Amino acid sequence: MSVAIDPRVAAFIDSQHGLLIDGHSQPALSGAQMPVFNPATGEELTRVAAAAAADVDLAVAAARRAFCGSWAAQRPADRERLLLKLADLLEANGEHLAQLETLNNGQSIHLARALEVGAAAEFTRYMAGWATKIEGKSLDVSIAAVPGAKYRAYTVPEPVGVVGAIVPWNFPLLMAIWKIVPALACGCTVVLKPADETPLTALRLGQLCLEAGIPEGVVNVVTGTGAVAGAALAGHPGIDKVAFTGSTQIGKVIGHAAVDNMTRFSLELGGKSPVIVLDDCSPEVAAAGAAGAIFFNQGQVCTAGSRLYIQRAIFDQVLERLATIAGGLNIGPGLDEQAQINPLISAKQQKRVLGMIERGVAEGARVVCGGVAHGEQGFYVRPTVLTDVTADMQVVREEIFGPVVVATPFDSLDEVVELANDNQYGLGASIWSNDLAKVMALIPRIKAGTVWVNTHNMLDPSMPFGGYKQSGIGREMGHAAIEAYTENKSVCIAY
């Protein structure tokens, strides 16, 4: 059954979408706009303002004024209360936000409700609590100096300043919240640049921040392309920190731009996460786990379990069950409550994913199931399982960001450690087994920012999240998020 679009969601989509600067919606100075599409139909949904460097200048200036003015005047308890109010508003507007996200991003309405809204509200409440718990240390120093002089030293975490947040299209609202909320909890202000493809929930979030009572200019939203608006923000000398989630390729560009200005930065980048199945595991459990790890949000997840390593004794059984699950998934629009596989974000992404499958096949991979597009309309790719792959193939090495998993057998634990770590990325990994000794031996040997056991893709606001190797620099969530948005000042007092 297809969810009926709420008239208020339709009205929002049809409204004028300006840039949110200093609490006001305004067109781009050039008047430029860009289209936004519905991935389930390929049709244009609406148009939004396309910011250029001059618009970004205005947004950064507004964020600076707010940082030094209205926001600096708020006590930690005020910031906490405002963020708690924002969480309430996310929930109160939850169904609208979820429908909007599904229309713009293509993802399942269930996922939009549970993650983009539900997890975002939980995350907001968790981070709101940190606002009143940011503390420094009192240091017992041993400075050898003038006889009789005494010193007392302590540290003060101070808000880093104006944050440029650049987020991707795979979980547009949640990713925006992951950046904005800890930044605000720490006393920073933000200029948010949503992905080119998915600006709508970010704009609505900007409105909700104002509705919550967060002062004008604290959260600014500049829609536009990455190449123009994103680049202008990342390289802006007026920002103090860039918080980026996206591809490794663009993350490097952003890191370079940030270093040129000595802007602080954190990068949450790509992944090619291994799923390691040991042979004590039931093939049913392993296949269901592997399917969830890769097909969740059509594999458009930076931690997607896209490399599946199965111990040889159960390889055929797991593969067969995985193919059965993949072949049986309902494919349809995100608004269809029965649909389990939804469209990819864009025609470009669909073409890229299909191209990578084709290249894999040309290099010798065998398609166990899927491997092709689905339907006449919308950007669907059938859930795909490839096997007979070798470690040098592009499908094994590179992030596909689609519903495509490569399955490989292994014999020993040493072998699977080598296979799992033989990749430029190191974001997530999962181990499927109840053999505690083997699991505990594997965990420290896997080079990944998060290791799951008998689960995959599970994140919590309390768990630091980020990558080893080319998967990024820095951590989000937990106390790590507070460190990411504060400078540590040392104070030394002689008395």
Active site residues: 268, 302
- Sorted by sequence, the CB contacts under 8 Å of residue 404 that are 6+ apart come out as 294, 299, 306, 353, 356, 357, 370, 381, 384, 386, 395
- Residue 191 sits in the site that holds ligand ADP (CB under 6 A): no
Which residue stretch of 19-27, 139-147, 160-168, 204-212 sits at the interface with ligand ADP (rule: CB under 6 A)? 160-168
* CA–CA separation, 96 and 430 (whole Å): 34
Which residue stretch of 121-129, 150-158, 223-231, 355-363 sits at the interface with ligand ADP (rule: CB under 6 A)? 223-231
- Residue 304 sits in the site that holds ligand ADP (CB under 6 A): no
**Of 25, 247, 282, 421, which lies in the binding site for ligand ADP, with binding defined by CB under 6 A?**
247
Q: What are phi and psi of 8, to 5 degrees?
A: -70, -30
- Sorted by sequence, the CB contacts under 8 Å of residue 254 that are 6+ apart come out as 166, 230, 234, 242, 244, 265, 267
Any idea which residue has 């240390």 for tokens? 137
**Of 246, 283, 472, 478, which lies in the binding site for ligand ADP, with binding defined by CB under 6 A?**
246
- Residue 234 sits in the site that holds ligand ADP (CB under 6 A): yes
* Nearer residue to ligand ADP within complex by CB, 101 or 196: 196
**Of 168, 172, 343, 370, which lies in the binding site for ligand ADP, with binding defined by CB under 6 A?**
168
* Nearer residue to ligand ADP within complex by CB, 253 or 341: 253
* CA–CA separation, 407 and 342 (whole Å): 23
Q: How far is the CB of 411 from ligand ADP (least distance, A)?
A: 36
Indicate the pairing of strand 472-473 with strand 274-277.
unpaired
| Structural contact between residues 275 and 309, judged by C-beta atoms closer than 8 angstroms | yes
Q: What are phi and psi of 205, to 5 degrees?
A: -60, -40
| Structural contact between residues 381 and 374, judged by C-beta atoms closer than 8 angstroms | yes
- Residue 409 sits in the site that holds ligand ADP (CB under 6 A): no
**Of 18, 217, 230, 461, which lies in the binding site for ligand ADP, with binding defined by CB under 6 A?**
230
Sign of CA dihedral 156, 159, 165, 171: positive
- Residue 166 sits in the site that holds ligand ADP (CB under 6 A): yes
| Structural contact between residues 40 and 342, judged by C-beta atoms closer than 8 angstroms | yes
Binding residues for ligand ADP restricted to 250-269, rule: CB under 6 A: 250, 253-254
Closest CB to ligand ADP: residue number: 226
- Residue 193 sits in the site that holds ligand ADP (CB under 6 A): yes
**Cβ count within 10 A of residue 455:** 12
Indicate the pairing of strand 404-410 with strand 307-311.
parallel
**Of 227, 362, 440, 492, which lies in the binding site for ligand ADP, with binding defined by CB under 6 A?**
227
- Residue 177 sits in the site that holds ligand ADP (CB under 6 A): no
* CA–CA separation, 427 and 465 (whole Å): 8
Which residue stretch of 161-169, 207-215, 258-266, 459-467 sits at the interface with ligand ADP (rule: CB under 6 A)? 161-169
**Of 101, 196, 268, 476, which lies in the binding site for ligand ADP, with binding defined by CB under 6 A?**
196
CA-only gyration radius of the chain, Å: 23
* Nearer residue to ligand ADP within complex by CB, 134 or 250: 250
Nearest to 179 by CA among 211, 207, 206: 206
Q: How far is the CB of 197 from ligand ADP (least distance, A)?
A: 7
Q: How far is the CB of 402 from ligand ADP (least distance, A)?
A: 11
Indicate the pairing of strand 274-277 with strand 404-410.
unpaired
401 backbone φψ class: left, alpha, beta (φ>0; ψ -120 to 50): left
* Nearer residue to ligand ADP within complex by CB, 130 or 465: 465
Which residue stretch of 116-124, 174-182, 222-230, 409-417 sits at the interface with ligand ADP (rule: CB under 6 A)? 222-230
Site mask, ligand ADP, residues 112-151, x = CB under 6 A?
----------------------------------------
* Nearer residue to ligand ADP within complex by CB, 365 or 395: 395
**Cβ count within 10 A of residue 217:** 25
Residues near ligand ADP (CB under 6 A) are 166-168, 193, 195-196, 226-227, 230-231, 234, 246-247, 250, 253-254
